[in-house]
Amino acid sequence: MFENLPLFPEQASEQAAQVDALFFFLVAVSAFFAILIAMMVAVFAVKFHRRRQDEVGDAIHGSIPLELFWTFIPLGITMVMFVWGAWLFFHLTRAPKGAMEVYVVGKQWMWKVEHMDGQREINELHVPVGRPVKLIMGSEDVIHSFFIPAFRVKADVIPGRYNTMWFTANAPGRYHIFCTQYCGTKHAAMIGWVTAMEPAGYQAWRSGGGATGGPVENGAKLFQDLACNTCHKEDGSGRGPVLKGLFGKEVQLSSGQTITVDEAYVRESILNPQAKVAAGFQPIMPTFQGLVSEEQVLQLIAYVKSLSGEGSAAPGTSATQAPSPAGGAQPPAPPAKKSGMN
Amino acid sequence: MPDGHAHAAPLDAHGHPHEPAHPKLQHHFDDMGQQAEASTLGMWVFLVTEILFFGGLFMCYLVYRWKSPSGFQEASFELNRVWGATNTAVLIISSLTMALAVRAAQTSAKRGTQVFFLGLTMFFGLVFLGIKAIEYTDKFVHHHVPGPHFHWDGQYPKPAEQFYSLYFAMTGLHAVHMIVGVGIMAVITWMAWRETFDEDYYTPVEVAGLYWHFVDIVWIFLFPLLYLIGGHFKG
Amino acid sequence: MDTITTAPTLNYLNSAHGLASWLLTRDHKRIALLYLVSVTAFFAIGGFFAMMIRLELVTPAADFVQPDTYNKLFTMHGVIMVFFFLIPSIPAVLGNFMLPIMVGAKDLAFPRINLLSWYIYVLGGLFTLTAAVTGGVDTGWTFYAPYSTASSNSHVIMAGVGVFITGFSSILTGLNFIVTVHRMRAPGLTWFRLPLFVWSHYATSLIMILGTPVIAITVLLVAVERGLHLGIFDPALGGDPILFQHLFWFYSHPAVYIMILPAMGVTSEIVQAFARKNIFGYAFVAFSSLAIAIIGFLVWGHHLFVSGQSTYAGLIFSILSFLVAIPSAVKVFNWTATIYKGAVSWDSPMLYAFGFVGLFTIGGLTGLFLASMGLDVHVHDTYFIIAHFHYVMVGGAIMGYLGGLHYWWPKITGRMYPEGWAKFAALTVFVGFNLTFFPQFIVGYLGMPRRYAMYAPEFQVYNVMSSAGASILAVGYVIPLIYFIWSLKYAPLAGKDPWGAKGLEWEIPSPPPTENFAVTPIVTERTHQYAPSREVGIA
């Protein structure tokens, strides 16, 4: 094709082919109906063109069988689209177990990336080819959105909560990252590059340095520096709940509600501890709002997860939880080994 | 019939019947009945829009109360239930006097009777607003007004501030509607004094009555949702 | 058509003179013209902002305007086009003029409220324009929090107040239409004898009264949070930004049906008149308007698929979004079937109607891409979305508006515009529109995000195509402005029924007298009958 006239984005992830398959199906259906209507209108306009000034059309009022026909056929087609799109969405949003986790913080107007081994990047994300990667994303200020067109994945990055997205890159190369939720003056400059590398190259990059301790280690350090360990003692003698083995479990709150200890709950407990106090404990934990940055919160979360053997550093004993969206029930486990629809 | 419909014969040039029209009949209506029905339907449609208008705030309330039930309960406790209940009674009685005012106009009662009931309705409306002023002042004094001077001694300061934001937004919006209602009452009362209303024409009273009842009903929802959260939990 | 040489008698245009007779009028026809002037002015302003946007996007760098300015340009373009042009256009101009006549009434139910509604519209517009000229707003027309409440340093509150005020104009118009259709129909004019234009405006009015109050309170809350720093939507203050999105889209999705339903009503009228044939499937087309209005209230969450909202909520919104497409499809098939075995004229209103059917079909079909959750993930917030909504709103709604203006211009003004120029303009609009917006589907799927002042270089060719198309489109819009104004003084007079069309409006003089009807009509069959009413199947 022409040098600078791309017609179609490259497919660089396993998800891309699946998304494109649905896209082509919709293009085919749309083209069929659009051409059908256009042609019928054109043909009728010509064939039944008024020949005399006073000519009148035929006395036709309708046909119920025809109405039903062109109601139920589109209904059937749209329901196929719905099911396919829904299935695809479930697949796109449920990261498989053992996915490599990477933390991303969006802030006006840059992307801050932190790998589990401590490697940090700004507006760059290095990932290995062939391995599922799960991004856990938060925002420091306003709503952003992390979009990798070549992978066909996107998720809003919203302050006050975590959103996740995942992908498996399957073609080495450099691909655009775009912020796709308007966030202010330099929204269009909040862009970057994903570099997908063959496993060997990725390993080389990982050991290339720049690591300043992983989130887990940094989190452990923060846990001490901020004196969390004075109340959250491992032997249970402290004023706060024991955190070892806690992540992923269900706990009862003093209000009677039961919640699951996930990233969102840990974050809330750090920044707004009175909101959901565990049953049997006093509401005396001070708030750390303003004392820790979003990145530091993510590091503390990584540390707390490690106390349950969670996170990609070690195989987990319980499923890696995505943060619960507001009010939503926990989703079922993703369907195993679905290949793209072809 | 070439154009598909006939033209009625015994009408004047405007299509009106020949008897003299009621002085209050607007020119685009055929008769008083149509005018009255249009006006009342118009007010009903307007009230539906008001339901949606308040509805947005009720949605915010729903979401935030669901998020912090204990916080809302704690915050609600600091509202004065006696004043709230009094205001509820005041509004219910004002709806009664309003209904009596409509009936008075409907039955061509003497203007004194009409003005009496309309005036009473206005009076109760003002009583309501006065009590709200007392409550708002109390909240101001206790630093429960959201914003830079908000101060909360309880366990849930953030939810409390959200609760009071909603409290002031919802009761404030309601109070604005009450003020408008009192203004409307004043105009209707003046019209009643001028002997405008009788059994042939009382639509403005009826329509004002619909509005007044609606504002009353909104309060009936606001009162338990704001004042009575967790009322049966003691300690 | 015959050229009439006798001057028109007393009509609504010459029955009273002077500025006061216009600014204090209660005549729905004059109010419609007040709206016509103001709506056209806002279209020009919104169009100017569009030209600035397209000029900037000719090159990948932000070299025409600063990014900050660009952000304000697209915001103002969206706010003005949505709230001050698209939403009022057909209902407030063509609806105000035609609806009372089509139901056989002398005016709307509440003429003074009609006038008030125009003043409210102008007042809200002034607030918003003030915000524009004193520095602008840069939040996007969607005002997402917390950017709008905490981060933006532009005139958010003033623009928000403008939108808030104008919302009441919409509410009052809807209220007036509903009461008029219920209570002011001429004797014998039952619901199923009403023109489809009336059905579609009735459905539109339902949306106006139910949806607009919610955007009003939402915009109010944004202003309150921004001004008083309360934590409603800003998570830093304890609020929930997703709550804003739900409240905003609860109105703003049905709002798009406010924009398209009237255009669909216009299309039904034009297709019948210019095929000289009854609409195929009258009841289905009538009920489809109601179905769109009702189902349209249940789909707003498809704007939140990637926000992290519950997947199960997403599923419900997705399936309903597919369902809302079905009544639209039914309409398209019925219009096409109406042309079959009609006596089809190619006069300019019909050209606009053809354009509407084709472009709305494409726009509506691309909506299916967005209803499909897995696919929406990729195209959300890209130029694919921009292309989709411009196809339905510009290729659809604006074509419908222009078609309606052309169709009823002789009735409104008593003059016939020059048909040759009108055909040329219609074709120019069609070509310019497609050249502007079709490339945006491609560049959107490629990944170009929306609201970008600068973009990746590989997107440039499509942007150049799009900007070239925009200049052609602009020409297509300016031409009717010129010949419509010209026609007021120099064009031949049009008679009562220059098109040979059916309907109550074509039985009264052009321009109509102030009271519309000398005698109240009594209706015995559907007012738009081109054939006897005995039901016949497909011939």
Four-residue CA torsion sign, C387, C390, C392, C395: negative
Question: How near does any CA of chain C get to the CA of A52, in Å?
Answer: 9
Q: How many whole angstroms separate alpha carbon B124 and alpha carbon B88?
A: 11
Which chain A positions have a beta carbon within 8 Å of B159's beta carbon?
275
Q: Please judge whether C518 and B13 are an interchain contact, meaning their C-beta atoms are less than 8 angstroms apart.
A: yes
3-state SS string for A119-171: CEEECEEEEECCCEEEEEEEECCCCEEEEEHHHCEEEEECCCCCEEEEEEECC
Tokens read off for C336: 């096409």
According to DSSP, residue A253 is labeled B
3-state SS string for B58-121: HHHHHHHHHHCHHHHHHHHCCCCHHHHHHHHHHHHHHHHHHHHHHHHHHCCCCHHHHHHHHHHH
Last residue of a domain, one of A179, A211, A243: A211
Helix, coil or strand: residue C4: strand
Q: Please judge whether C457 and A4 are an interchain contact, meaning their C-beta atoms are less than 8 angstroms apart.
A: yes
User: Which subunits count as partners of chain B given 3+ CB pairs below 8 Å?
Assistant: A, C
- Interface probe for A, chosen from C75, C243, C306, C382 (most Cβ of A below 10 Å), is C306
Pick from C105, C228, C523: CB nearest B28: C105
Strands A191-197 and A124-128: parallel
Give every residue of chain C whose pLDDT is below 50, as ranges: 1-3, 533-539
Same domain, A150 and A16: yes
Strands A191-197 and B5-7: unpaired
Q: Please judge whether B68 and A275 are an interchain contact, meaning their C-beta atoms are less than 8 angstroms apart.
A: yes
Specify the amino acid at residue A21.
Answer: A
Tokens read off for B109: 């009662």
Confidence at B175, pLDDT banded by 50, 70, 90: very high
Query: Which residue does chain C place closest to B40, by CA atoms?
Result: C179
Pick from B6, B42, B147: CB nearest C179: B42
Specify if A302 maps to a domain: yes
Which chain C positions have a beta carbon within 8 Å of A88's beta carbon?
372-375
Q: Please judge whether B41 and C230 are an interchain contact, meaning their C-beta atoms are less than 8 angstroms apart.
A: no
H/E segment holding residue A206: helix A199-206
Tokens read off for C97: 């003029």
Pick from A38, A63, A160: CB nearest C241: A160
Question: How near does any CA of chain C get to the CA of B105, in Å?
Answer: 23
Tokens read off for C415: 């003059």
Same domain, A27 and A168: yes
Q: What part of B 81-110 touches A (C-beta under 8 Å)?
A: none
Cα within 13 Å of Cα(C485), Cβ side:
7
**Interface check B148 vs C, CB under 8 A:** yes
Q: Please judge whether C217 and B5 are an interchain contact, meaning their C-beta atoms are less than 8 angstroms apart.
A: no
How many angstroms separate the first and last alpha carbons of chain B?
Answer: 82
Q: Please judge whether C340 and A180 are an interchain contact, meaning their C-beta atoms are less than 8 angstroms apart.
A: no
Return the CATH number at A155. Answer: 2.60.40.420
Same domain, A76 and A203: yes
Same domain, A145 and A261: no
Distances (CA, A) of C464 to A171, B38, C437, C484: 31, 54, 11, 31
Q: How many whole angstroms separate alpha carbon A111 and alpha carbon A107?
A: 6
**Interface check B141 vs C, CB under 8 A:** no
Specify if A229 maps to a domain: yes
- Quote the pLDDT of residue A320: 38
Q: What is the pLDDT of residues C260-275, one digit of tens each?
A: 999 999 999 999 999 9
**pLDDT reading at B138 higher than 90:** yes
Full pLDDT tens readout for chain A, 342 residues: 456 688 999 999 999 999 999 999 999 999 999 999 999 999 999 999 998 888 889 989 899 999 999 999 999 999 999 999 999 999 999 999 999 999 999 999 899 999 988 888 999 999 999 999 999 999 999 999 999 999 999 999 999 999 999 999 999 999 999 999 999 999 999 999 999 999 999 988 888 755 567 888 889 999 998 889 888 988 888 889 999 999 999 999 988 889 999 999 999 999 988 888 899 898 888 888 888 888 899 999 999 999 987 554 433 333 333 443 443 344 443 444 333 333
Q: Please judge whether A283 and B158 are an interchain contact, meaning their C-beta atoms are less than 8 angstroms apart.
A: no
Specify if A135 maps to a domain: yes
Q: Please judge whether B37 and C183 are an interchain contact, meaning their C-beta atoms are less than 8 angstroms apart.
A: yes
Q: How many whole angstroms separate alpha carbon A25 and alpha carbon C303?
A: 22
Q: How many whole angstroms separate alpha carbon C154 and alpha carbon C139?
A: 8
Q: What part of B 6-65 touches A (C-beta under 8 Å)?
A: none
Pick from C311, C343, C376: CB nearest A50: C343
Specify if A335 maps to a domain: no
Give me the long-range contacts of A227-233 (CB less than 8 A, separation at least 24): A228/A300, A231/A285
Same domain, A162 and A79: yes
CB neighbours of residue C17 within 10 Å: 9
Write the CB contacts of B187 (distance below 8 Å, at least 6 apart in sequence): none
Strands A120-122 and A110-115: antiparallel
Query: Which residue does chain B place closest to A257, by CA atoms?
Result: B69
Mean pLDDT of chain C: 94
Last residue of a domain, one of A168, A194, A211: A211
Write the CB contacts of C320 (distance below 8 Å, at least 6 apart in sequence): C295, C298, C299
In chain B the domains, ranked by start, together with CATH numbers, are 32-233 (1.20.120.80)
How many angstroms separate the first and last alpha carbons of chain A?
Answer: 25
Q: Please judge whether A176 and C447 are an interchain contact, meaning their C-beta atoms are less than 8 angstroms apart.
A: yes
Task: Assess contact for B160 and B152: CB atoms under 8 A.
Answer: yes
H/E segment holding residue C486: helix C460-490
Return the CATH number at A299. Answer: 1.10.760.10
Query: Which of B157-161, B230-234, C274-278 comes out lowest in average pLDDT?
Result: B230-234
Same domain, A24 and A143: yes
- Quote the pLDDT of residue B19: 66
Task: Assess contact for C401 and C94: CB atoms under 8 A.
Answer: yes
Q: Please judge whether C311 and A150 are an interchain contact, meaning their C-beta atoms are less than 8 angstroms apart.
A: no
Specify the amino acid at residue C521.
Answer: P
Specify if A61 maps to a domain: no
Specify if A192 maps to a domain: yes
Q: Please judge whether C308 and A37 are an interchain contact, meaning their C-beta atoms are less than 8 angstroms apart.
A: no
Same domain, A117 and A175: yes
Q: Is the peptide bond before A109 cis (omega within 30 degrees of 0)?
A: yes
Query: Which residue does chain B place closest to C180, by CA atoms?
Result: B38
Specify if A113 maps to a domain: yes
In chain C the domains, ranked by start, together with CATH numbers, are 22-506 (1.20.210.10)
Closest among C351, C356, C426 to C395, alpha carbons compared: C356
Specify if A41 maps to a domain: no
Tokens read off for B139: 């909240």
Last residue of a domain, one of A157, A188, A211: A211
**pLDDT reading at B15 higher than 90:** no
Question: How near does any CA of chain B get to the CA of C355, in Å?
Answer: 31
CB neighbours of residue C538 within 10 Å: 14
Question: How near does any CA of chain B get to the CA of A321, in Å?
Answer: 21
Query: Which residue does chain A place closest to C383, by CA atoms?
Result: A180
User: Which subunits count as partners of chain C given 3+ CB pairs below 8 Å?
Assistant: A, B
Same domain, A287 and A196: no
Q: Please judge whether B56 and C213 are an interchain contact, meaning their C-beta atoms are less than 8 angstroms apart.
A: yes
H/E segment holding residue C32: helix C28-56
Q: Please judge whether A255 and B70 are an interchain contact, meaning their C-beta atoms are less than 8 angstroms apart.
A: yes
Q: Please enumerate residues of A whose Cβ is less than 8 A from a Cβ of B.
A: 254-255, 272, 274-275, 283, 327
Same domain, A113 and A171: yes
Q: How many whole angstroms separate alpha carbon C313 and alpha carbon A329?
A: 10
Segments forming the whole domain that contains residue A226: 215-328
Q: How many whole angstroms separate alpha carbon A238 and alpha carbon A243?
A: 11
Q: Please judge whether B147 and C228 are an interchain contact, meaning their C-beta atoms are less than 8 angstroms apart.
A: yes
Q: How many domains does chain A have?
A: 2
- Quote the pLDDT of residue C466: 98
**Interface check B12 vs C, CB under 8 A:** no
Write the CB contacts of A1 (distance below 8 Å, at least 6 apart in sequence): A7
Same domain, A29 and A157: yes
Closest among C437, C472, C465 to C58, alpha carbons compared: C465
Question: How near does any CA of chain B get to the CA of A290, in Å?
Answer: 15
ipTM of the complex model: 0.93
Q: How many whole angstroms separate alpha carbon A169 and alpha carbon A182?
A: 26
Question: How near does any CA of chain A get to the CA of B75, in Å?
Answer: 14
Same domain, A96 and A169: yes
Same domain, A20 and A124: yes
